[in-house]
Amino acid sequence: MLELTEFSQRLIAWQRIHGRHDLPWQNTRDAYRIWLSEIMLQQTQVSTVIPYYARFLERFPTVMALVDAPIDDVMALWAGLGYYSRARNLHRCAQVVAYEHGGAFPQTVDELAELPGIGRSTAAAVASFAFGARATILDGNVKRVLARVFGVAGFPGETRVESAMWKLAESLLPDAANKDDVTAYTQGLMDLGATLCVRGKPDCARCPFASDCVANVEERQHELPAARPKKAVPTRKTWMLVLKDGDSVLLEKRPPTGIWGSLWSLPEAADEAALVQVAHSLGGDERLQRLAPFSHTFTHFKLDIEPRLGEACGVAHELSDTQTVWVPLSRIDSYGVPGPVRKLLDALCGSLV
């Protein structure tokens, strides 16, 4: 069986030669930049994050710049990246860092984990990359690597299995004497899971643990880690109103909690008749045009969307309150709009060209 100390040594050596070294958030000890990347990378691929990360830093180069930003500006830059509670927590976290920590991120895992939106694994990643701390990470990539190399059975999301993985991960940490080793080890875990030990077709031939990996030796790559137990995904349905006046559409601010919290979206109703009433109350024509229905799948349910197009009847482009706004289709980028709604509006904009 693979010796625990040998695992860290072999991984560090592999990372320094074969790991990723040119990602935008690497080669820095700037806690703000590292924290931002780690939040964006939660359940999101690197290739998707990179352009968002660049745009976000251009607008908010420091944590203090983020503190003073309106939440709408933050949500607009996050729109399309998904899991929008991350953006709301990001803003709150910046405020806590500014007002309770003097603008500097705390350096210990325990203190970092108390900040909004930062869990145990993310806190460890920030502590390791920014401060060289000897800390354990355990994200999805790392769970997959550990499950395969050491033959950890069971679904990693189950409390018992996850607890066992935390203990294993802690036992694998290299000595803390060399901060660069700790950083290389942490990065190596992420790199191995993201580039070789991938979910679908792992590249075992190039893996530094190929000869010792339980999954590879026993040809159980597709069994480990165990898949999430299947559950029926409930389906919900909503009707959305695209109320148009010339080249502008009406957007409504969603509540701060729930799906798409604090984003700008289209008025909704529970059925067709109710949507007609919504259109009437907003000064629109009650004759609504059917648009192509579509669906969007969230983590815990699927949402079927029935969009309808309506025309405004002389509605003035003035805010009746802070929860509604008329927006030219050409300026949708300035508002945080959910990805599926943005696609609908982009298609509408294309049809008007």
Which position among 3, 6, 38, 252 bears the catalytic label?
A: 38
Q: Is 162 exposed, middle or buried (0-12, 13-18, 19+ CB in 10 A)?
A: middle
Q: How many CB atoms lie within 10 A of CB 104?
A: 11
Joined together, the tokens standing for residue 298 give 């969230």
CA torsion angle 291 293 296 302 (round to 10): 140
Tell me the C-alpha distance between 39 and 85, whole Å: 11
- Residue pair 60/90 in contact (Cβ under 8 Å)? The answer is no
Helix (H, G, I), strand (E, B) or coil at 245: strand
Compute the distance between CA of residue 189 and CA of residue 321 in angstroms, rounded to an integer.
49
Q: Catalytic: 272?
A: no
The rounded distance, in Å, linking the Cα atoms of 244 and 319 is 15
Closest Cα partner for 15 from 188, 174, 146?
188
**Would you list the DSSP string of 98-153?**
HHHSTTS---SHHHHHTSTT--HHHHHHHHHHHH--------HHHHHHHHHHHT--
Catalytic residue set: 38
